[in-house]
Amino acid sequence: MTSPTIGTALITGASTGLGAVYADRLAKRGHDLILVARNAAQLEPLAAKLRAETGVEVDVIAADLTNSDDVTRIEQRLIDDATITLFVNNAGMSLNGGTLENSAAEIETIIALNITAAARLAIAAGRAFGARGQGAIVNIASVLALAPETFEGVYSGSKAFLLNLSQALATTGREKGFHVQAVLPGATRTEIWERSGKDVDAFPAEMVMSAVDLVDAALIGLDRGEEVTIPPLADEGQWDAYHAARLAMGPGLSRRDVGERYRVTEAV
C-alpha cells in the first residue's frame, strides 16, 4: 500500500530506458507516480502494470518537452501538486554523428529537450520544493559532463550544463530544505543508442551497464544523500579529488590583477 508520507514522484522520459526503471523502482518503494513522455501508448501499459503490481496510483501525461507549452503544463503540475516529493528530470536525447555533423534544427531540438526543458522543470521543482521545505530533484546528466573530448559536443555540453545547474541548485536546496542529486551514467544499455543511430555493442561489454543496475545504484546514491552520483566510478576518491581541486581554485577565479603570465611587459 502507498505510504501517506512518501509522496508522488514525477518522472520525465518514463516510457523506456532509465525512466521506466525509475518508475518500477519508485512504485516498489511506495511512491505514487506521474509518468511523462511523448508516447502515451507506451506509458499506459507500464502504468497499468505498476498499478496492478504495487497498488500505487499512476497518472500518465503525454507531453513533448521540446514544446514550450507542454513544458509549461509540467511546470504547473510540479508547482500545483503538493503531493509531489520527488522529481526525476530524466527525459533526454542524443544526436547522430559528430559535433560538426548535425543540422541547425537538430541542434535546436536537443538544446530544447536536454537544456531548456530540463532547466525549466528543475527550477520549477526547486521553487515548489523550496516553498514546501522538502523534496528531492534527480537530474540525469552523464559522465560525458566530465569527458567532453570523447563524444558529440552538444550532447556532452548539455550534460555539463545539467551538472552545473544541479550543483548550483543543490546549494540553494541546502538552504531551503530540498535535496538535489546529479546522476552521471556512463554508457548504459537503453534505446537512446539506437534512436541516435549508434550501436552500444560497439563498446567493449565491460563498459556498458544495464539500466536496472544504473538506477538501483543511483537510488543508493540518493539514499546516501549524494549530490553527485557516478554509478560506474569504482574509486569514489577520484571524484572527491576532482571536486576538491575545482573548489581550491575558487578563491583565485575572480581577482583585480591578471595572472603573472598575462602581464603586459613594458617595451624598452
For residue 171, give every residue at least 6 positions away whose Cβ sits within 8 Å of its Cβ, in sequence order, or none: none
Answer for which of 18, 27, 124, 218 binds ligand NAP (CB under 6 A) is 18
- 36's enclosing H/E stretch is strand 32-37
CA 123 to chain centre: 13
- 231 near ligand NAP (CB under 6 A): no
Piece in contact with ligand NAP (CB under 6 A), picked from 46-54, 172-180, 183-191, 239-247? 183-191
Piece in contact with ligand NAP (CB under 6 A), picked from 88-96, 218-226, 241-249, 253-261? 88-96
- 116 near ligand NAP (CB under 6 A): no
CA 183 to chain centre: 6
- 140 near ligand NAP (CB under 6 A): yes
Encoded amino acid at 204, one letter: P
The binding track of 53-72 with respect to ligand NAP, each residue x by CB under 6 A or -, is: ----------xxxx------
- 113 near ligand NAP (CB under 6 A): yes
Determine phi and psi for 95, rounding to 5 degrees: -110, 155
**In the structure grid, which three cell numbers stand for residue 154, read together?**
552538444
Alpha helices by DSSP H, listed for 82-210, are 104-110, 118-132, 153-176, 192-195
- 157 near ligand NAP (CB under 6 A): no
- 22's enclosing H/E stretch is helix 17-28
Give the Cα separation of 163 and 181 in Å (integer): 9
Answer for which of 25, 51, 127, 195 binds ligand NAP (CB under 6 A) is 195
- 146 near ligand NAP (CB under 6 A): no
Enumerate the active-site residues.
Answer: 155
Q: Which residues bind ligand NAP (CB under 6 A)?
A: 13-19, 37-39, 42, 63-66, 90-93, 113, 140, 142, 185, 187-188, 190-192, 195
